[in-house]
Amino acid sequence: MAAVMVVDDTAFMRMVMREILEGMGMNVVAEATNGKEAVNLYSKYKPDLVTMDITMPDMDGISALKEIKRADPNAKVIMCTALGQKDMLLDAIYSGAQDFLVKPISKDRVEQAVRKVLKEKVQTF
């Protein structure tokens, strides 16, 4: 069972993502509301996957992605973005994100991205 950390400043988005991931048989081991929390929790939990919002207070998702990748070059991160953030999304991909989701997210797209990034750890159902 893959361990996942969900990072988003909106409680509703964390809940939706948690429900989708748990429905796939994943274990959501941590949730963070900003990039600073994400960096700290990543070092504590070392999850197999992180879903990370780009726009958050205190530290944005791209800065957090860069810090996480600096500490663990093998970290697997899927970025979540709103429409119209193309430049930020490109920065995230260049910084090491393995995939991205555009909000509003769909269950099918989340499942597709997670399967792509975590090929060996996703249960088939």
Show me where the domains of the chain are located.
3-117
- Map residue 47 onto helix, strand or coil: coil
With a cut of 60, say whether residue 120 has pLDDT above it.
Answer: no
H helices of the chain, in order, are: 11-23, 35-45, 61-71, 86-94, 107-117
Tens of pLDDT along 93-107? 899 999 999 888 999
Architecture category of domain 3-117 in CATH: 3-Layer(aba) Sandwich (3.40)
pTM of the predicted structure, to 2 decimals? 0.92
CB 63 within 8 A of CB 35: yes
Q: Tens digits of per-residue pLDDT, 13-61?
A: 999 999 999 999 999 999 999 999 999 999 999 999 999 999 999 999 9
- The Cα–Cα gap between 67 and 76 comes to 13
Tell which wins on pLDDT, 78 or 84. 78
Provide the pLDDT for residue 90.
Answer: 83
Signed CA dihedral, 46, 13, 110, 61: sign only: negative
